[in-house]
Chains A and B, each alone.
Chain A
Amino acid sequence: MFRLTCRVAWASLVRRRTRSIVVVMMIAVSLWGLFTMEGIYGGMTEQMINSAIRSDSGHISIFAEGYRLDPDLSRQVNNVAKIESQLVHAPHVSSYVKRLKQDGLVATAHYSRGVSIIGVNLLAEEKHGKLQGYIFKGEFSFGRKDRGAIIGFKLARKLHVRIGSKIILSAQDSHGEVSSVSLRVTGVLKTYNMALDENAVFLAEKKARELLAVEEGVSQLAIILHNDSQVAELQQKLRSLFPSLEILRWDELYPALLQSRVMMDGFNLIASLLVFCVAALGIFGVMLVSVLERLREFGIMLAIGTRFSQIRNIVFVESFFLGFIGCGFGSLFGAGTLYFFKVKGLDLSLFSDAFDEFGMDAVIYAIIRPSYFITAFVAVSFATFLSVLIPLRVLKKSKPIEAINQV
Chain B
Amino acid sequence: MFFGYTKSHVQAELFCIAFLLTFVFPLSAFAETAVEIINKVQSNLNGKTAVMNLSMVVKGKRATRTMKMKSYSCGDDKSFIQILYPGKDRGITFLKIDNSMWQYVPRIEKIIKIPASMMLQSWMGSDFTNDDLVKTNSLTDDYTKQLLAEIDQEYQVELLPTEEAAVVWGRIVMGVSKQFYLPTTVLYYDEDDTLIRKMIYTDVQPFGEKYYPTKWLMLPQEPEKIGKETMVEISNAVFDEDISESYFTKRALKRYSN
Listed stretches A87-95, A103-111, A123-131; interface member: A103-111
Give the shortest distance, in Å, between A231 (CB) and chain B (any CB). 35
Could you say which residues of chain A place their CB within 8 Å of the CB of B188?
109
Listed stretches A21-29, A169-177, A310-318; interface member: A169-177
Listed stretches A1-9, A61-69, A179-187, A255-263; interface member: A179-187
- Knowing A109-B196, A176-B100 touch, does A170 contact B116 (C-beta < 8 A)? yes
Listed stretches B26-34, B167-175, B206-214; interface member: B167-175
Main secondary structure of the interface of A (DSSP, over half): strand
In A169-223, which residues have CB < 8 Å from any B CB?
169-172, 176-182
Q: When each residue 145-183 of chain B gets 1 if its CB lies under 8 Å from chain A and 0 otherwise, what string results? A: 000000000000000010111111110000000000000
Q: Which residue, of B117, B167, B190, has the highest number of chain A Cβ atoms within 10 A?
A: B117
Could you say which residues of chain B place their CB within 8 Å of the CB of A169?
166
Complex alpha-carbon distance, A328 and B117, angstroms: 61
Could you say which residues of chain A place their CB within 8 Å of the CB of B191?
108-109, 165-166
Complex alpha-carbon distance, A155 and B168, angstroms: 17
A168 within 8 A of B: yes
User: In the bound complex, do residue A166 and residue B116 qualify as a contact, i.e. CB atoms below 8 Å apart?
Assistant: no
Complex alpha-carbon distance, A361 and B164, angstroms: 36
Complex alpha-carbon distance, A105 and B188, angstroms: 21
Main secondary structure of the interface of B (DSSP, over half): loop
- Knowing A176-B100, A177-B99 touch, does A107 contact B120 (C-beta < 8 A)? yes
Could you say which residues of chain A place their CB within 8 Å of the CB of B165?
182
Counting chain A residues whose Cβ lies within 8 A of the other chain, the interface size class is: 20 to 34
Could you say which residues of chain A place their CB within 8 Å of the CB of B87?
none
Q: When each residue 187-205 of chain B gets 1 if its CB lies under 8 Å from chain A and 0 otherwise, what string results? A: 0111100001000000000
Residue on B nearest A179 in the bound complex, by CB: B99
Complex alpha-carbon distance, A109 and B192, angstroms: 10
- Knowing A109-B190, A180-B166, A182-B167 touch, does A103 contact B117 (C-beta < 8 A)? yes
Q: When each residue 24-64 of chain B gets 1 if its CB lies under 8 Å from chain A and 0 otherwise, what string results? A: 00000000000000000000000000000000000000000
User: In the bound complex, do residue B117 and residue A107 qualify as a contact, i.e. CB atoms below 8 Å apart?
Assistant: no
> Interface size of B by Cβ–Cβ distance < 8 Å?
24
User: In the bound complex, do residue B115 and residue A172 qualify as a contact, i.e. CB atoms below 8 Å apart?
Assistant: yes
A342 within 8 A of B: no
User: In the bound complex, do residue A170 and residue B168 qualify as a contact, i.e. CB atoms below 8 Å apart?
Assistant: no
A147 within 8 A of B: yes
Q: When each residue 85-125 of chain B gets 1 if its CB lies under 8 Å from chain A and 0 otherwise, what string results? A: 00000000000001110000000000000011101100000
User: In the bound complex, do residue B167 and residue A168 qualify as a contact, i.e. CB atoms below 8 Å apart?
Assistant: yes
- Knowing A108-B190, A170-B116 touch, does A177 contact B163 (C-beta < 8 A)? no
Give the shortest distance, in Å, between B102 (CB) and chain A (any CB). 11
User: In the bound complex, do residue B190 and residue A110 qualify as a contact, i.e. CB atoms below 8 Å apart?
Assistant: yes
Could you say which residues of chain A place their CB within 8 Å of the CB of B190?
108-110
Give the shortest distance, in Å, between B75 (CB) and chain A (any CB). 17
Residue on B nearest A104 in the bound complex, by CB: B116
User: In the bound complex, do residue A104 and residue B117 qualify as a contact, i.e. CB atoms below 8 Å apart?
Assistant: yes
Give the shortest distance, in Å, between A72 (CB) and chain B (any CB). 12
Residue on A nearest B194 in the bound complex, by CB: A109
List residues of chain B with CB under 8 Å of any chain A CB. 98-100, 115-117, 119-120, 134, 161, 163-170, 188-191, 196, 222
List residues of chain A with CB under 8 Å of any chain B CB. 103-105, 107-110, 112, 114, 147, 165-166, 168-172, 176-182
Contacts A107-B168, A182-B166 known; list 6 others, CB within 8 Å: A109-B196, A168-B167, A170-B116, A177-B99, A179-B99, A180-B99
